[in-house]
Amino acid sequence: MSYPPLLLDHFERPRNAGELDPADAAATVRDPQRGDTLALSFRLEGDRIAAVRFRAYGCPVTIAAGSWATEALPGLTIREALELTDEAVARALGGLAEDQIERSVLVERVIRAAFAPPSSGP
């Protein structure tokens, strides 16, 4: 399989791998079908993301998406981060097939898991 150059760069030279300790927010998401897993930990300054670290297990897309997120998210407000879609991450990495986005990008789901307000039940 051929990958875009920026995706390969993030896969081969991942940025900001690891965890923030202490983290102000963190979440992990796993694709149940393929097992790809992405974890992001966040340090906040007010409502802005100051730093992000990632851990990933899976294909090059999952690892590259996590690495990319650590460079793209700092400076954004939580609200702005919650507006980021996996499709936007895929475009930023140079473009991906729809099936790769659905099973491997995972960034949108991790951000929502870390910051979305809990839903109130019926």
Residue at 56 is within a domain: yes
Is residue 120 a part of any domain in this protein? no
- Is 65 a domain residue? yes
User: Does the pLDDT value for residue 78 go beyond 70?
Assistant: yes
In a domain, 75, yes or no: yes
Domain count, the chain: 1
What does residue 120 show for φ and ψ, rounded to 5 degrees? -90, 135
Query: What is the domain range of residue 61?
Result: 5-115
pLDDT in tens, 10-55: 999 999 999 999 999 999 999 988 899 999 999 999 999 999 999 9
pLDDT at 44: 98
CATH code of 100's domain: 3.90.1010.10
Contact by Cβ (8 Å): 37, 58: yes
pTM of the model: 0.91
pLDDT at 102: 78
Q: Are 16 and 67 in contact (CB under 8 A)?
A: yes
